[in-house]
Structure formats: C-alpha cells, structure tokens
C-alpha cells in the first residue's frame, strides 16, 4: 500500500489546480459558442477572486463569497457586452482592455486584504466512502466547488447538444445573419452567453482565492485565464475535452512544482515555464489540422453583428 | 390555374399593402408602394437591383418596419413586428442567401425555424413525410455543408411548409438552380398555389415570371410603377417597364477566324484546403485569341478553385498545367502572370477586385502599375495614375463624383464597370472574368457585355465564368460546364441547347469526349 500513498497528495493538488481552469474554460466555451470572443478571462478571474475573498473575510460565509465572485465576473462580462455587443467595439481589443482593467481594479479592491489568511473551503466528507484508501480522498473528499465544476461541464454539454436553447445558441454562433433573419435576438442571446461566461470565470477566481491558495495576492491568477482560452481551442470547442485539457494542464502545473521540490537539476524558471510551454506546443499541434478546428469552431466568432442589414 | 388570369377574382386579398414608404439615410427605398396578393395567386415582384424589392419584402416579413403606409392581412390592418409574428400569421420566407447553418444537420436547421420545442426524432419523420409528399426529398441527418445548393433550398422550402404557410415569399429562388431543378420547383409552387397558398415571387428572370406567375407588380427606383398580367406581356415589354428605357441587346457577330491558342490548360488537378471546397480534377481547355469561352455551372462546383488556379493565387503542381502563349505559367504568381498580360476580374468586387477604403486612383494603380507604367523610379506617378483612373471612368461610364472617391462608395454595378474597365484597358492578351454582371443592373450589364465582345473582336482571348446562362448565351462563342470540379468538353454555343447544358450542370459528363481532348494534348 505504501507504494502508492505518495500519489494521493499529487492527485489532490492536480484536482485543485485544474478546477479553476474547468470553470473558466467551460464559461468561455459558452461565450465563444455564441460567437463572441472574450479575451478578458484573466481579468474576470481576478475580480472573481478578489470579490470572493473580500466577502469571505468580511462575512465568513462561503456561499455568499462564491456568489459574490460569480456576480463580479458577470458584471465585468456585462461591461464587455455593452462595449462589444451594443456599442460594437472590437472584441479583441476590448477583451484585452478588460484583462488590464480586471488586474487593476482587483489590486485596488484587494489592497487592504493582502496577506490576510482565511480558512480554506471545507472539504466534503462522505462517511465511509472517503475512508477508502487512495480513491476515497480523491473521489469523495473534495470541496463543493470541485463537484460543481464537473457538474457544470456536464450541464453545459447537455444544454448545448440536447436542448433547443443550446441549439439556438450554437446557431447564433454559426451564422448570426441567418439566426437574425429567422427572428432570433442575436444580441440578447449573446449577452446571456457572455455573462454566463463571466460568472463562471468569477467562480473560478473564487476557487483560487478560497481553496487553491486561501489568500489574496495581486495578480494571483498568474496567466490561468490565458491557459483557459487556449484550452478551448485545444478542446476544439467540446465541453468534455475542456475538462480533460484542464486536468492535463493542472497535472503539468503540479508536476513542475513536485519536480522543483525534488530538487531536479533544472533551473526552476524553466520548470515554471512548463504549463505555458505546453500550451504553445499543444496549440501548434492542434492548429496543424485546420479542418478539425473549422468544423467545430463557431463560424461567427469575433465578428461584429450589425443587425440592420 | 394555368390560365394566368386572376384565379379567385371575388376573394378578399390575402395581403394588401397601401402606400408603404421606407426611408434610409440618403435614399427613399420604398416610396408609396401598393401591392395586392390574392389567395392561391403566384404574384411576381419585379424590379432591378435597388428598385426596393428587398426592403418591401423585409417589411412584409417583419424584419423592417415601414415609416408610413398600411398593411392588411385578410382585410385586417395590422403591424408585423418581427419574423416570429410574421410566421405566426402564416407568412413563410425563402431567402436568396440562405438562412441556413452550415455546421448543423437538416433537422436542426428546420427545428430552429419552428416555434416551441420539438422532439427531434418526430421532426425528422415529419421532414421525410412532407419533403417526399411535395417531391423535395431530404435526408434529415445530413449536415448542411455536405448538401448541394438545390438541396439547401429544399430545406428552406420544407421549413416553411411545415408551418402550413398562407403566404410564401421567395427571393430569387432559381438563381442558384440548374434549369431542371428550377422546373421541379415550379411544379411544387403550382401545386401549393392550387392548395390556396399565395406566393410572392421575386425575380428578374422574365421568362420564369411569364411561365409561372399570374400577376406582376413592377417597381423602379423605389416607386410602384404598375401591376400587370405577365402572360400578356413580352419579355421585352416587362424589361422596359422595369428599366424605364429601351433595352439594347449586345451585338454579337460570330468570329469566323479564330486565332491561335492563347490559354492552354492541361490535366489541371487541385486539392482544396477548404473543408467546404471542391477538388479540381483533370481539367483540359483551350481558349483561342478572339474568342469568348463561357464556363457555366451551379455555384460551388469548383469555380472558386478554378479561378484561383488561373489567377495564380494558388499555384498548380506542374508549371505546364497552365500555359499562356505556349509558356508554362502554372508556377507563376499573380504579378508575374499579369506581366505576361493576363488580366483578371475576380468574383469578389470588394476585397479581391478592389480595396474598398482606397480611392479609385489607388485602386487603378494596384493591378495596372506594371502594364501602364505607373511607377517612376520606384515612386507612384500620381498624375499618370489619375489620368488612367479618369480614362476608365470616362470610357466605361462609371458613375462617380470623382476618382478621389473610395471604391467602397460606388454602387455594385459602377464598381464592376470600373474593375472591368481597369483590366480591359491594360490591353490584355487573355482576360479572365468571373461573374461579369452579378448584382449589376441591366443597363450596366449590357455595357459590360458589349465591352467583352469588343475586346474579343480586337483579338484578346476571353474566359468568362458565370452562373447566368442567358449571359453566357449572349456573349460566348464556346461554352463548357463545370460540375463537381470537372470541366466538360467545350462546345460551340450555336450547337448546344439549354437542356444539354442543364444536364451537364447536374453532373452528367461527356467522359468519352474528354479523353479524346486529353490525348490530343
């Protein structure tokens, strides 16, 4: 038994590293499926993280804290929607601005909270099941948000491919002109999708500041928003593959931490680079098969919709 | 129903428009338009591009709202606020540019156009039932991007039929069909009319309207001109009501002395990189000096890929696949080909044919700088280029306030005249023209046709790719048909009938003859 005991902490940390990516990735997937490219994921993660952390320290209520994270993310996404959907600003530029805005505003809100510790999100324990060696703590001893992230991935997958609402959302992303001509409210549907994406990123941020490292530090997302964006391309816009990708990147993140701890004779900077390097490599590999991307990518992604014509 | 008269004279009109007016910034798109459609009537809406047909239809379908005027549905005045409201009343619309979702299945596409929830399996069953019932067979589980244009149109029609429409609006439905497909669609429409469905049929193909429609309303420049019985009119009289002046058909003298072979295409095959593209397969063709070679075909059968190969945007495998004056050019890029005096009018006017944000002088420079020597020591010779742009404007009757205006500010027809003029004035040995009059009004089209014929008579080789058979018959000496990336053997225009071309467009190849051509090469 002792041979596999060492793997439990690794698996546990992989799950915690992957969960924020699952939230952000699934949320942005819905946004992109509706034909909107929101590059502000990093910013929405940060405001989610700070809002949740501040609420948790002030109220001590984790439910309220996570809700505050979701609201903060959705609010930022709403601003993005006003700019790109109603005022028709360029989505790429606005998304980049949203990230910069999120970095700044989260630092401002969080400046009095740096270094304050909170208790980590409590782990759920299923009596009996959690005591099973190895599998028990991995499968049945996680906090509520881990289960929520996987549930949301399944829910989104069901919504997109099994319901009329999901069909309409994909239709808007596939051809906004056609959707408009049969009478769907392209702008309205996109607002909902964008705000759902923001709320999910906000929860992902809340997970970072409440569970992954229960504290607030400026810029604590460390580029996870960008990895989430890359994940979607990696997953060719399929919810199941987003989860797989998130766990893969989570695994690489943790692996490099353990490699550093084990004193591997490689400069630590190189090891820290690994998750980002892996992102670039995977994107290059995926992009080689252009037709695969084209088949699943929403055709209207990033295009401004002018309803008059 | 074939009598062409008013079929149900005593009935209340299903739809009546009174004094519909709609203004956009700078234009009055609809100016006090009246229209009356009876139950079971096939009613043509006839007019040139810019006559206001699309605007009027969008008002009926609830996409746009009229500024003034009344709309009466079965005699009751009402306001149609959205396409949903229109469909609820029983108004169905089939769009010219399909409102289909390429990445989805037939069933999903149809479900999107229906109100409420659907059981997908049940819907698929109904699609098969209705589509077979009306002779419009569809496979519900196919993805739209794998279907032919004709099949795509069937989806639109079936989508409307599933909602038991009272009024069906069709916007230029046959522009993408082979003649045989169009005939089949007419049968369906006549049957629907017999069942009491009113049909508003928008087209500028006069023969079709004469054959199909009971009534016609003619618009010109946003104004109501008249209502008439198309079966009592000639194509010429309808056209003149549409245009408002007398129409001069292009003069086409058969060129008895065909010159030497200018363009020689041998075994040109090409794999497309586009998922929705078409592979070119073993294309052989000779175009001689002084002749107009027409390439017919339904859109999406390899025209785009063929034109890319000819222009040099995509290089061929073997330089000898394409030869100009005996010189292999298959591996040369567009600029090098232009230097050999190959001129090119691409399909896409805005983007390929011109840079919309640049003025006409700069646009004239872009493709002609080498032929017309518009560079002076590496710098743009602005005065010579301006003179050249003005020459184009003057010789090709381009209506613009001046050459300093942007290409994007010109109307489609005027921009097309400008681009055609720019290429023709470079004195090409070979000119390749894609869809010369697509979206161009009849007056400008006649001018462009005459220019093409004149150019050939002056000794240039001309290759025209078009979907419009009337156009190809008016200007070509030889015609070949492209279908599924293969090119039929070319035939003299006087020895081939529309029916034969229609069969070739549907993909029936003269395979035996093709082999002969290859062996000659």
Nearest CA in chain A to B97: A178
What is residue A7's predicted lDDT score, i.e. its pLDDT? 76
- Segment B215-234 mean pLDDT: 89
Distance between CA atoms of B193 and A57, rounded to whole angstroms?
72
Structure-block tokens of residue A125? 């324990």
CB–CB contact B112 A177 (8 Å): no
Ordered DSSP codes for B216-277: EEEEETTEEEEEE-GGGS-HHHHHHHHHSS---PPP----SS---EEEEEEEEEE---STT-
Helix or strand or coil: residue B100? Answer: coil
Ordered DSSP codes for B443-456: HHHHHHHHHHHHHH
Of B271 and A22, which is predicted with more confidence?
A22
For residue A244, give the CATH number of its domain: 1.10.3470
What average pLDDT does the structure give for chain A? 89
Q: Which residues of A touch B103 (CB under 8 A)?
A: 170, 174, 295-296, 299
Torsion of CA B171, B175, B181, B182, to 10 degrees: 60
Kindly indicate the confidence band of residue B424, based on its pLDDT and cuts at 50, 70 and 90: very high
Kindly indicate the confidence band of residue A309, based on its pLDDT and cuts at 50, 70 and 90: very low
A259–chain B Cβ distance below 8 A for any pair: no
Helix or strand or coil: residue B203? Answer: strand
What is residue B446's predicted lDDT score, i.e. its pLDDT? 84
Q: Which CATH architecture describes the domain B15-243? A: 3-Layer(aba) Sandwich (3.40)
Q: Would strands B292-296 and B461-465 be described as parallel, antiparallel, or unpaired? A: parallel
Q: How far is B91 from chain A (nearest CA, A)?
A: 12
Interfacial residues of B (vs A; Cβ cutoff 8 Å) = 62-63, 82-84, 87, 93, 95, 98-104, 108, 111-113, 117-118, 273, 275
Instruction: Please provide the CATH number assigned to the domain covering B250-341+431-442+461-521.
Output: 3.40.50.300
Tell which of B84, B86, B101, B106 to mutate to test the A interface (max A CBs under 10 Å).
B101
Which pLDDT tens digit goes with each residue over A231-246?
A: 998 888 999 999 999 9
What is residue B255's predicted lDDT score, i.e. its pLDDT? 56
Kindly indicate the confidence band of residue A92, based on its pLDDT and cuts at 50, 70 and 90: very high
N-term to C-term CA, chain A? 68
A287–chain B Cβ distance below 8 A for any pair: no
| CA A36, A40, A45, A50 torsion-angle sign | negative
Give the number of domains in chain A: 1
Closest by Cα among B54, B48, B47 to B29: B54
User: Is A303 a domain residue?
Assistant: no
CB–CB contact A178 B111 (8 Å): no
Of B347 and A28, which is predicted with more confidence?
A28
CB–CB contact B118 A167 (8 Å): no
Region of poorest pLDDT, from A211-225, B167-181, B340-354, B396-410: B167-181
- Segment B371-375 mean pLDDT: 88
What is residue B171's predicted lDDT score, i.e. its pLDDT? 83
What is residue B518's predicted lDDT score, i.e. its pLDDT? 36
Distance between CA atoms of A305 and B462, rounded to whole angstroms?
39
Nearest CA in chain A to B143: A295
User: Is A161 a domain residue?
Assistant: yes
What is residue B256's predicted lDDT score, i.e. its pLDDT? 55
pLDDT at A152 over 80: yes
Structure-block tokens of residue B35? 């229209």
Contact (CB, 8 A) for B158 and B129: no
Region of poorest pLDDT, from A115-124, B20-29, B241-250: B241-250
Which residues on adjacent β-strands are paired with residue B23? B28
pLDDT at A50 over 90: yes
User: Is A122 a domain residue?
Assistant: yes
What is residue B494's predicted lDDT score, i.e. its pLDDT? 85
Q: What is the DSSP letter of B143?
A: B
CB–CB contact B104 A164 (8 Å): no
B327-328 β-sheet, strand order: B280-288, B261-270, B322-324, B327-328
Which pLDDT tens digit goes with each residue over A179-209?
A: 988 888 999 999 999 999 999 999 999 999 9
Contacts of B268 (CB under 8 A, 6+ apart): B280, B282, B283, B284, B309, B316, B321, B322, B330
Distance between CA atoms of A292 and B497, rounded to whole angstroms?
43
What is residue B284's predicted lDDT score, i.e. its pLDDT? 93
Kindly indicate the confidence band of residue B519, based on its pLDDT and cuts at 50, 70 and 90: very low
pLDDT at B3 over 50: no
Closest by Cα among B355, B409, B322 to B26: B409
User: Is A279 a domain residue?
Assistant: yes
Kindly indicate the confidence band of residue B156, based on its pLDDT and cuts at 50, 70 and 90: confident
Of A139 and B158, which is predicted with more confidence?
B158
Contact (CB, 8 A) for B275 and B457: no
pLDDT at B520 over 60: no
Task: Provide the domain limits for residue A276.
Answer: 2-296
Distance between CA atoms of A51 and A280, rounded to whole angstroms?
31
Distance (Å) of CA A90 to CA A24, A228, A302, B214, B464: 22, 21, 8, 49, 39
Q: What percent of chain B lies above the pLDDT cut of 90?
A: 36
Distance between CA atoms of B36 and A135, rounded to whole angstroms?
75
**Among B99, B101, B117, whose Cβ lies nearest the Cβ of A164?**
B117
- Segment B401-425 mean pLDDT: 86
Q: Which residues of B touch A188 (CB under 8 A)?
A: none
Distance between CA atoms of A25 and A235, rounded to whole angstroms?
10
Same fold, B15-243 and B250-341+431-442+461-521: yes
A236–chain B Cβ distance below 8 A for any pair: no
A177–chain B Cβ distance below 8 A for any pair: yes
User: Is A307 a domain residue?
Assistant: no
What is residue B254's predicted lDDT score, i.e. its pLDDT? 60
Domain boundaries, chain B: 15-243, 250-341+431-442+461-521, 348-427
Closest by Cα among B17, B14, B45 to B213: B45
Q: Which residues of A touch B84 (CB under 8 A)?
A: 183
Number of H helices, E strands in chain A: 14, 0
CB–CB contact B112 A167 (8 Å): yes
CB–CB contact B63 A171 (8 Å): no
Which pLDDT tens digit goes with each residue over B249-265?
A: 666 666 556 788 999 99
3-state helix, strand, coil in chain B (%, to 5): 35, 25, 40
A178–chain B Cβ distance below 8 A for any pair: yes
Q: Which residues of B touch A168 (CB under 8 A)?
A: 112
pLDDT at B99 over 70: yes
Beta carbons within 10 angstroms of residue B408's beta carbon: 15
Q: Which residues of A touch B22 (CB under 8 A)?
A: none
Nearest CA in chain A to B93: A182
Distance between CA atoms of A192 and B482, rounded to whole angstroms?
46
- Segment A70-94 mean pLDDT: 96
What average pLDDT does the structure give for chain B? 84
pLDDT at B191 over 80: yes
Q: Which residues of A touch B87 (CB under 8 A)?
A: 183
- Segment B303-320 mean pLDDT: 90
Q: Would strands B76-77 and B27-37 be described as parallel, antiparallel, or unpaired? A: unpaired
Phi, psi of B71 (to 5 degrees): -120, 125
Kindly indicate the confidence band of residue B439, based on its pLDDT and cuts at 50, 70 and 90: low
Helix or strand or coil: residue A187? Answer: helix
Q: Tell me, yes or no, if the pTM score tops 0.80.
A: no
Nearest CA in chain B to A181: B99
Helix or strand or coil: residue B325? Answer: coil
Distance between CA atoms of A8 and A12, rounded to whole angstroms?
6
What is residue B176's predicted lDDT score, i.e. its pLDDT? 67
Closest by Cα among A220, A187, A227 to A205: A220
What is residue A200's predicted lDDT score, i.e. its pLDDT? 97
Q: What percent of chain B lies above the pLDDT cut of 70?
A: 90
Q: Which residues of B touch A177 (CB under 8 A)?
A: 99
Give residue B89's Cα distance to chain centre: 31
Give residue A199's Cα distance to chain centre: 10
């Amino acid at each position: 038994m002792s041979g596999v005991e060492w793997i439990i902490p690794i698996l546990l940390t992989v799950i915690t590293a992957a969960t924020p990516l699952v939230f952000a990735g699934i949320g942005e997937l819905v946004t992109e499926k509706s034909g909107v490219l929101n590059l502000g994921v990093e910013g929405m993660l940060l405001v989610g993280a700070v809002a949740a952390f501040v609420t948790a320290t002030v109220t001590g209520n984790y439910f309220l804290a996570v809700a505050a994270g979701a609201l903060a993310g959705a609010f930022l996404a709403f601003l993005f929607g006003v700019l790109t959907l109603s005022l028709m600003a360029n989505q790429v530029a606005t998304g980049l601005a949203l990230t910069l805005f999120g970095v700044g505003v989260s630092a401002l809100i969080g400046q009095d909270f740096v270094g304050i510790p909170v208790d980590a999100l409590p782990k759920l324990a299923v009596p009996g099941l959690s005591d099973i060696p190895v599998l028990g703590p991995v499968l049945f001893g996680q906090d509520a948000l881990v289960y929520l992230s996987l549930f949301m991935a399944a829910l989104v997958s069901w919504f997109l491919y099994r319901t009329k609402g999901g069909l309409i959302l994909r239709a808007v992303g596939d051809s906004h002109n056609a959707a408009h001509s049969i009478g769907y409210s392209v702008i309205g549907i996109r607002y909902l999708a964008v705000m759902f994406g923001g709320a999910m990123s906000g929860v992902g941020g809340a997970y970072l500041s409440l569970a992954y490292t229960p504290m607030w530090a400026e810029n604590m997302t460390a580029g996870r928003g960008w990895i989430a964006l890359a994940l979607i391309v990696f997953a060719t816009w399929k919810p199941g593959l987003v989860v797989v990708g998130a766990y893969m990147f989570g695994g690489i993140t943790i692996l490099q931490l353990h490699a550093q701890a084990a004193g591997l004779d490689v400069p630590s900077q190189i090891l820290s680079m690994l998750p980002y390097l892996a992102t670039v490599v995977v994107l290059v590999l995926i992009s080689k098969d252009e037709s695969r991307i084209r088949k699943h990518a929403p055709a209207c992604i990033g295009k401004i919709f002018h309803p008059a014509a | 129903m074939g009598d062409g008269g008013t079929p149900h004279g005593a009935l209340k009109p299903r739809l009546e428009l009174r004094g519909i007016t709609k203004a956009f910034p700078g234009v009055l798109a609809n100016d006090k338009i009246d229209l009356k459609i009876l139950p079971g009537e096939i009613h043509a809406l006839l007019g040139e591009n810019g006559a206001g047909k699309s605007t009027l239809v969008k008002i009926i379908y609830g996409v746009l709202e009229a500024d003034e005027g009344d709309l009466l549905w079965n005699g009751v005045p009402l306001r149609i606020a959205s396409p949903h409201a229109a469909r609820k009343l029983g108004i169905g619309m089939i769009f010219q540019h399909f409102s289909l979702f390429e990445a989805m299945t037939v069933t999903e596409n149809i479900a999107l156009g229906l109100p409420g929830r659907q059981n997908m399996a049940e819907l698929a069953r109904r699609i098969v039932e209705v589509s077979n019932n009306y002779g419009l067979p569809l496979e519900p589980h196919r993805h739209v991007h794998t279907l032919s244009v004709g099949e795509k149109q069937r989806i639109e029609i079936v989508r409307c039929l599933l909602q038991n429409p009272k009024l069906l609006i069709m916007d230029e439905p046959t522009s993408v069909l082979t003649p045989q497909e169009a005939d089949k669609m007419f049968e369906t429409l006549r049957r629907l009319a017999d069942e009491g469905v009113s049909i508003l049929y928008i087209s500028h193909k006069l023969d079709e309207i004469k054959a199909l429609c009971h009534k016609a309303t003619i618009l010109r420049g946003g104004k109501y001109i008249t209502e008439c019985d198309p079966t009592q009119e000639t194509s010429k009289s309808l056209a003149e009501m549409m245009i408002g002046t007398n129409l001069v058909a292009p003069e086409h003298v058969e060129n008895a002395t065909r010159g030497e072979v200018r363009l020689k295409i041998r075994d040109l095959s090409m794999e497309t990189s586009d998922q929705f593209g078409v592979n070119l397969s073993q294309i052989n063709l000779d175009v001689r000096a002084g002749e107009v070679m027409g390439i017919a075909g339904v859109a999406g059968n390899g025209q785009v890929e063929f034109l890319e190969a000819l222009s040099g945007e995509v290089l061929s495998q073997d330089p000898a696949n394409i030869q100009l004056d005996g010189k292999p050019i298959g591996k040369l890029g567009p600029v090098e080909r232009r230097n050999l005096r190959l001129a090119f009018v691409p399909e896409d006017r805005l983007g390929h044919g011109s840079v919309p944000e640049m003025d006409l002088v700069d646009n004239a420079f872009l493709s002609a700088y080498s032929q017309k020597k518009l560079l002076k020591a590496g710098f743009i010779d602005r005065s010579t280029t301006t003179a050249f742009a003005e020459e184009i404007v003057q010789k090709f009757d381009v209506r613009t306030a001046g050459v300093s205006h942007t290409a994007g500010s010109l109307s489609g027809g005027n921009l097309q005249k400008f681009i055609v003029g720019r290429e023709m004035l470079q004195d090409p040995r070979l000119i390749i023209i894609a869809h010369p009059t697509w979206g161009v009004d009849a007056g400008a089209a006649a001018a462009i046709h005459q220019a093409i014929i004149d150019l050939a008579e002056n000794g240039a080789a001309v290759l025209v790719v078009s979907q419009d058979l009337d156009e190809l018959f008016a200007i070509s000496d030889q015609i070949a048909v492209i279908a599924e990336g293969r090119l039929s053997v070319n035939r003299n225009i006087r020895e081939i009938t529309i029916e034969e071309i229609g069969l070739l467009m549907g993909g029936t190849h003269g395979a035996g003859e093709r082999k002969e051509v290859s062996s000659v090469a």
